[in-house]
């Protein structure tokens, strides 16, 4: 692909400069990742929609990102047009309309200040609303999908308004994470929130935030690297797993990794956090390849000990065909 020629073709649609070879490690919370072939930061929703329509109808490989808090970008980088979504407007009400580039914790603050409950779980999640939709982000048994009324998006070259079922949400998953998903830009959503007293909303959020601070390591990470395992039979045969988790049939990935003795295990500059085994952290000089090898080692160890393959919550970007994208 001739990226300079493509940049010239795209320029008339863009109000800001297009950048060549922007290092992705500057835009990901793991602080790793090689260059994006072409990088564009968009803050106007119509511009975002028009560029997406153009790119999709011209079959330009495109990767849309928010805050890079759920991706592991390869050291080779991303051979695509990377659109950094900074469209952040929101109109707050019982039906709140928000653009997908808004940081989800900012959306929580805006809605909570108006006495609207529903987003308390998002208070410590460092990504955008768009990234939250793709992985059906959540915490403490609440998920973003539960609040949705409708979604504006561009898919297969066309701007459309769809119902939440279009996304095929499940636990930390939607159709946009799966192989063969149609190229799609999520533009904005309408959410349903519930009136409540501000004092009660902030008290709940503070309580959740305290639990998070106790458990979460402070180093650069992408949050939980692996999904928890929903397997009742496994949960029942694990001594040391708490009764509520056994009852729910959920095994935290961190429990399995810790049981393999991998806390603190390190490859290059990437290691399994000593504070929370499901956090893979950058000790300062990690490469994407260190993280990839560490993740594979963890999966293999858990499989050998417990017979289950952990599935990544983090998405691999720019790794080629043999790694799930």
Ligand X SMILES: Cc1cc2nc3c(=O)[nH]c(=O)nc-3n(C[C@H](O)[C@H](O)[C@H](O)COP(=O)(O)OP(=O)(O)OC[C@H]3O[C@@H](n4cnc5c(N)ncnc54)[C@H](O)[C@@H]3O)c2cc1C
Q: Rule CB under 6 A: which of 301-320 touch ligand X?
A: 315
Among 51, 125, 208, 280, binds ligand X (CB under 6 A): 125
Nearest 10 degrees: Cα torsion 41, 44, 49, 54: -60
Position 116 contacts ligand X (CB under 6 A): no
Instruction: Tell me if residue 174 is catalytic.
Output: no
Catalytic residue among 172, 174, 220, 273: 172
**Dihedral of CA 216/208/135/160: which sign?**
negative
Position 68 contacts ligand X (CB under 6 A): yes
Q: Hey, which residues does 190 pair with through a beta bridge?
A: 97, 150
- Residues that bind ligand X (rule: CB under 6 A) add up to a total of 33
Q: Which two tokens stand for residue 299?
A: 């999966």
Position 71 contacts ligand X (CB under 6 A): yes
Position 107 contacts ligand X (CB under 6 A): no
Helices 45-57 and 3-10 cross at an angle (nearest 10°) of: 130
For residues 107 and 306, which CB has a smaller minimum distance to ligand X in the complex? 107
**What length does the chain have?**
325
Rounded Cα gap, residues 220 and 32, in angstroms: 10
Task: Please report how close the Cβ of residue 304 comes to ligand X at its closest, in angstroms.
Answer: 27
Q: How far is the first Cα of the chain from the last one, in angstroms, to the nearest whole number? A: 20
Instruction: Tell me if residue 224 is catalytic.
Output: yes
Catalytic residue among 53, 99, 120, 313: 313
Q: Which stretch binds ligand X (CB under 6 A): 112-120, 127-135, 231-239, 246-254?
A: 127-135
Task: Please report how close the Cβ of residue 103 comes to ligand X at its closest, in angstroms.
Answer: 8
Position 42 contacts ligand X (CB under 6 A): no
Position 137 contacts ligand X (CB under 6 A): yes
Q: Rule CB under 6 A: which of 6-35 touch ligand X?
A: 29
Rounded Cα gap, residues 39 and 215, in angstroms: 35
Instruction: Tell me if residue 172 is catalytic.
Output: yes
Exposed (0-12), middle (13-18) or buried (19+): which is 307, by Cβ within 10 Å?
exposed
Among 117, 128, 271, 282, binds ligand X (CB under 6 A): 128
- Residue reference for tokens 């939709």: 133
Q: Which two tokens stand for residue 51?
A: 């560029």
For residues 271 and 306, which CB has a smaller minimum distance to ligand X in the complex? 271
Longest dimension (CA), the chain: 62
What angle is formed at CA 23 by the lines to CA 20 and CA 24, rounded to 5 degrees?
Answer: 115
Catalytic residue among 220, 224, 271, 273: 224
Position 96 contacts ligand X (CB under 6 A): no
> Would you tell me which residues interact with ligand X (CB under 6 A)?
29, 63-71, 85, 100, 125-128, 130-132, 134-135, 137-139, 176, 184-186, 216, 221-223, 315
**Residues catalogued as catalytic:** 172, 224, 313
């Amino acid at each position: 692909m001739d990226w300079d020629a493509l940049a010239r073709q795209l320029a008339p649609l863009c109000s800001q400069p297009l950048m060549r070879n922007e290092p992705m490690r500057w835009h990901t919370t793991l602080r790793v990742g090689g260059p994006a072939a072409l990088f564009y930061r968009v803050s106007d929703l119509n511009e975002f929609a028009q560029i997406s329509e153009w790119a999709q109808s011209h079959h330009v490989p495109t990767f849309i990102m928010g805050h890079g808090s759920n991706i592991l970008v390869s050291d080779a980088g991303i051979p695509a047009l990377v659109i950094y979504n900074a469209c952040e407007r929101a109109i707050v009400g019982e039906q709140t309309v928000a653009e997908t580039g808004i940081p989800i914790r900012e959306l929580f603050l805006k809605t909570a200040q108006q006495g609207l409950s529903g987003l308390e779980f998002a208070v410590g999640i460092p990504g955008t609303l768009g990234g939250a939709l793709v992985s059906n982000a959540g915490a403490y048994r609440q998920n973003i999908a539960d609040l949705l009324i409708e979604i504006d998006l561009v898919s297969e070259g066309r701007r459309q308004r769809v119902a939440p079922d279009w996304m095929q949400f499940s636990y930390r998953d939607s159709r946009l994470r799966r192989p063969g998903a149609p190229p799609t830009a999520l533009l904005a959503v309408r959410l349903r929130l519930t009136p409540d007293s501000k004092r009660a909303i902030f008290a709940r959020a503070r309580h959740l935030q305290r639990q998070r601070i106790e458990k979460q390591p402070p180093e650069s990470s992408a949050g939980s690297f692996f999904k928890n395992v929903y397997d009742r039979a496994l949960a029942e045969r694990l001594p040391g797993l708490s009764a509520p988790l056994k009852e729910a049939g959920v095994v935290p990935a961190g429990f399995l990794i810790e049981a393999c003795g991998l806390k603190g295990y390190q490859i290059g500059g990437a290691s399994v956090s000593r504070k929370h085994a499901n956090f893979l952290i950058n000790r300062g000089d990690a490469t994407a390849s260190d993280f990839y090898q560490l993740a594979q080692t963890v999966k293999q160890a858990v499989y050998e000990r417990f017979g289950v393959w952990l599935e990544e919550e983090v998405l691999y970007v720019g790794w080629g065909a043999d790694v799930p994208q």
